[in-house]
Amino acid sequence: MNNLPIEHASKYKRLILAVSILIPLVVGALFRIRIEGNLSFLPPVYASFNAATAVLLVFALLAIRKHQMALHRSFVRMALLLSILFLACYVAYHLTSDPTYYGDFDKNGSLNGYEVFQIGGWRYVYWIILGSHIGLSMVVIPLVLNAYLYAWMGDYATHKKLVKAAFPIWLYVAITGVVVYFMISPFY
């Protein structure tokens, strides 16, 4: 990997900060904006991106433990690419689709008492998983991007410190993205 000159680092850190703020704001705005289109095929696609990201992250960890830096770098880059593709598909789907509610068996956009009773305690499990997934997805953006930046700069000590926090969070977000998809998919 070509090392990034240190004098460019502050520019990239500002960009990382901007992206880390902008992404959650854009995703939050999705729930107020609708455009015409039918992209109902996308949820299993972006769930697959999450699943593949999780696998790639594990492969990246195994590669670096075997001191295979080039292979590690390739796995991380593929995981980053899939995460970007996930985000693009997620945004596109939610721009063109009404929200889906967990437990909405009749798919009318709201839960009645019978639906709440039918879904039972699973509703709380879903909300806990979804809430942690969303919250940690916001936290992981600057961690991953900064870890990547420090590796790019050749500061592997700082990279490694950041990855100790970023890796488990990114892996959790990728896995829970798949879990959330499987839990909500019957209600699409």
The pair of structure tokens assigned to 46 is 């972006």
The pair of structure tokens assigned to 26 is 């854009």
The pair of structure tokens assigned to 22 is 């902008």
Residue 120 CA to residue 114 CA, distance in Å, equals 10
CB contact at 8 A, 1 and 64:
no
Using the structure block, give the residue that is written with the tokens 């991953």. 144
Determine the CATH number of domain 39-187: 1.20.120
Domain map of the chain by residue range?
Answer: 39-187
DSSP 36: S
H or E stretch at 72: helix 69-96
pLDDT in tens, the chain (188 residues): 456 666 678 889 999 999 999 999 988 887 788 899 999 999 999 999 999 999 999 999 999 999 999 999 999 999 999 999 999 999 999 999 988 999 999 999 999 999 999 999 999 999 999 999 999 999 999 999 999 999 999 999 999 999 999 999 999 999 999 999 999 999 99
Query: Is the pTM above the cut of 0.85?
Result: yes
